[in-house]
Chain A
């Protein structure tokens, strides 16, 4: 099956710093990538959808200047949490969709645990 990786798996940073999370599709080209946030014991919250080569589409309530998303290639998308604060601490998950022969199935990364001190 298709594999999606995320790096790093866990990051701890000081308040005010920026953190970049990478999402890669390892064995397929991802025309669309999604970024989710998951709070403890809660469901996935879609933050943004990005198509390769174009600007990300953010969900209502998600600050695009705070959560910078870049989908520079068909196998890589990055999420940068700028000027992180403790309330940004969460579990961030990406997923990728190839859209070719697999319909709208999403393949999920393992997630990144961000802790902002």
Chain B
């Protein structure tokens, strides 16, 4: 069974402070990890995925297989970063793709 854990339901930081949204997963194979973001009154959208190894809107996330983590980081939070962030794990088995989302973390950036 695969599982995604986001331990914090709410994370409040001041503008300009560093941000780290935690995500841990459990999966026996090689997973594909994603971070999705949902801004207020907007639909879910992809923020970044581990295979791209890119920085989007200043956010980065590194897959740490030893710690089974995929934490989302940004060095300086901005007010427009306030949103719900979901960590997701995608796996393929026999042609069937299974996706599991974490419970989500609400990021609140205080001006």
Interface residues of A, Cβ cutoff 8 Å to B:
32, 34, 36, 42-44, 46, 49, 57, 93, 95, 97, 103-111
Contacts and interface: CB of A to CB of B under 8 A. Distances in A.
A95 B97 CA distance: 13
Contact of A104 (B45, B90, B101): B90
Point out which of B51, B97, B102 has the most chain A C-beta atoms below 10 A from its C-beta. Answer: B97
B8 interface: no
Contacts of B57: none
Nearest to B51: A103
Given A103-B32, A110-B43, A49 B102 contact: no
Contacts of A49: 96-99
Nearest to A41: B9
Nearest to A45: B101
* Interface majority SS (helix, strand, loop, mixed), chain B: strand
B49 A103 contact: yes
Interface in B51-91: 51, 86, 90
A34 B96 contact: no
B45 A108 contact: yes
Contacts, number: 48
B96 A44 contact: no
A91 B86 CA distance: 17
A97 B32 CA distance: 14
Given A44-B86, A44-B101, A49-B96, 4 more contacts: A34-B99, A49-B98, A49-B99, A97-B97
B103 interface: yes
Given A43-B86, A43-B104, A105 B46 contact: yes
Contacts of B96: 49, 57
26 contacts: A32-B97, A36-B101, A42-B103, A43-B86, A43-B103, A44-B44, A44-B101, A46-B99, A46-B100, A46-B101, A49-B96, A49-B97, A49-B98, A49-B99, A95-B44, A97-B97, A103-B49, A104-B49, A104-B90, A105-B34, A105-B49, A106-B99, A107-B45, A107-B46, A108-B36, A108-B45
